[in-house]
Amino acid sequence: MIFYYLLVLSLPLVEHAIFGARVGGMTVIKYVGLICLGYALFSLIGRQRSPQFLATAQAQALLVFFCMALVSYVLHGSSELGAALGALTTYLAHLVFFVITLIVVSSLERLRRVLLCAIGAMGLASLYVLREWQGGSSVYGAGYRPGYVTGDPNFYAASTVLCLPLAFCWALDQRPALERLWCVGGLLAGLAGSMVAASRGGFAGLLVGMAFLVWHSPRRARNFTVGAGALMLFLGFSPTSPLKRILNPVHGDQEAADVRLQLWAGALNMVKERPLTGFGLASFKTQVGPYSDLPEDVRFAAHNAYLEIAVEMGVPGLLALVALIYLSCRGVDRVRRLTRRTGPPTLHRAALGIEAGLIGYAVSLVFVSGLFLKVFWLMLFLSMCLPALQPQARIEQEAEAA
């Protein structure tokens, strides 16, 4: 399992010097993934029950979405062979990650450790972001937005949305002191990093995710006071923040907003032209120029994952993505409701944190082309593990009580 924890630790570090280093034509993290796959398959030997990969509705939606990506590649891959092949390879890697996760996260204890590792990964990524901001702000001013090691500031902020609600929930929970300290550290680092990254889309997702978490927590007033107070503290003392970019945008901020509107208008024009089949995987950047008022020789991301999928895979692909996210949230919500009174508390809190993160991330995707971010897929796959862990955890509780 140590290699799987290492894999989780690397997820937000998109451009890390060690994890991204190439050895023999492959990156280090791909070797780690292969080791995890070998361990997962080996662990199936002698296991009484094999994991039911398609037992949940969200897992079935995942398979449909991946099949649509494959169909899109077959229909249009030749037009942008390199980029399309890269996108298809990424989806296949996610599929392998799905198999590994459903095999190895086979107990409540492993789920707890994986989620703690995800919080630690967010904290580590945040430290990288803060260090980069410290160096960059001395050269470019306080408005410098860091995030290179995590892809870019928007990708970093979107990834933190998936983990911050969980860190907040567990930091205020009755957990061992070291775990609470771990979660508090990740929470503070994540909030600080989110402020200097100053992503407006990430901030919107964070507000929605935290609001959902507080509303469904047992002590709403306390959690609202603590959460709002911490957020206001960081917003007030941070030299740059997403709120400042919303309320007092500088020329670059307004220009970025105008570009996004033009990209979205161009995306809608593309969807109208090919609503069923789309233009093919990874085609948005190269095809959007003629459909918008932007220069054709400049490649822009869509800054909206839903429109990007609609352009590349058609409206059916968009519906499959929306169904995947919705069914994942619904599945986790069911576990959260069933464990609210009967427990175990760890599973209930995990379900609440994962659901809040997914809901917040779904909002962030309106402003960020972050569908490839690996932390998102981890949380989706964990949502598929929870239903199987619920009866197992109840049996363990009854055995301990007896």
Q: What is the pLDDT of residue 402?
A: 45
Q: Does any domain span residue 363?
A: yes
Q: Does any domain span residue 162?
A: yes
Cis status, amide bond into 12, omega within 30 of 0: no
Q: What is the pLDDT of residues 113-150, one digit of tens each?
A: 999 999 999 999 999 999 998 888 888 877 788 888 88
Choice between 18 and 77, residue whose per-residue pLDDT is larger: 18
**Which residues are paired to 26 by β-bridges?**
23
**Max CA pair span of the chain:** 71
Confidence label for 400 from pLDDT (cuts 50, 70 and 90):
very low
126 Rama class: left (phi>0) / alpha (psi -120 to 50) / beta: alpha
Q: Residue 14: helix, strand or coil by DSSP?
A: coil
Of 380, 379, 372, 382, residue with least CA distance to 93: 372
Q: Does any domain span residue 379?
A: yes
Q: Does any domain span residue 276?
A: no
Tell me what percent of the residues of the chain surpass a pLDDT of 70. 95
Beta strand segments in 186-245, E: none
What is the arithmetic mean of pLDDT over 226-245? 84
Confidence label for 244 from pLDDT (cuts 50, 70 and 90):
confident
Tell me what percent of the residues of the chain surpass a pLDDT of 90. 51
Structure tokens at 390: 């619920």
DSSP 17-60: TTTT-EETTEEHHHHHHHHHHHHHHHHTTT-SS---TT-SHHHH
Q: What is the pLDDT of residue 297?
A: 60
Q: How far apart are CA 355 and CA 379, in angstroms?
A: 9
Q: Does any domain span residue 399?
A: no
**Which residues are paired to 27 by β-bridges?**
22
- On the question of pLDDT at 212 being above 90, the answer is yes
- On the question of pLDDT at 332 being above 50, the answer is yes
Angle of helix 200-215 versus helix 345-364 axis, rounded to 10: 150
Q: What is the pLDDT of residues 214-230, one digit of tens each?
A: 999 888 888 888 888 88
How many separate domains does the chain show? 1
Give residue 37's domain range.
2-251+296-390
Q: Does any domain span residue 398?
A: no
What is the arithmetic mean of pLDDT over 315-339? 94
Lowest mean pLDDT among 70-79, 207-216, 298-307: 70-79
Q: Which amino acid is at 25?
A: G
Q: Does any domain span residue 247?
A: yes
Which runs of consecutive H residues, i.e. helices, occur in 108-176? 108-140, 153-171
Q: Does any domain span residue 311?
A: yes
Choice between 228 and 328, residue whose per-residue pLDDT is larger: 328
What is the arithmetic mean of pLDDT over 225-251? 84
Per-residue buried b or exposed e for 224-262, using 16+ beta carbons within 10 Å of the residue's own CB: beebeeebeebbeebebbbbbbeeeeeeebeeeeebbeb
